[in-house]
Amino acid sequence: MDNELYRKTIVEMESKNVDAEYIQGWAGGFLGNPKREEQRVTEAYDKGFEDGSDKNTSNYESWIAG
């Protein structure tokens, strides 16, 4: 696992006020955790999980809370 990429991305997302559900999904996907049970999955979590699984750090901008 790339610890530096993980830490840098989480800190960056938090400092930019990215939706917490997206961050939780991204972290879980990046770490290879199992996905939440279906009734607790939100769109933000789902997209974050997908991006984290792909180690994608460029899609979170659209999840910045306004």
Instruction: Return the domain boundaries, the chain.
Output: 3-63
User: 43-57 burial string, b = 16+ CB within 10 Å, else e?
Assistant: ebbbbbbebbbeebb
pTM of the full structure: 0.93
Regions of the chain short of the pLDDT cut 70: 1
Q: And the tokens for 39? A: 């009734």
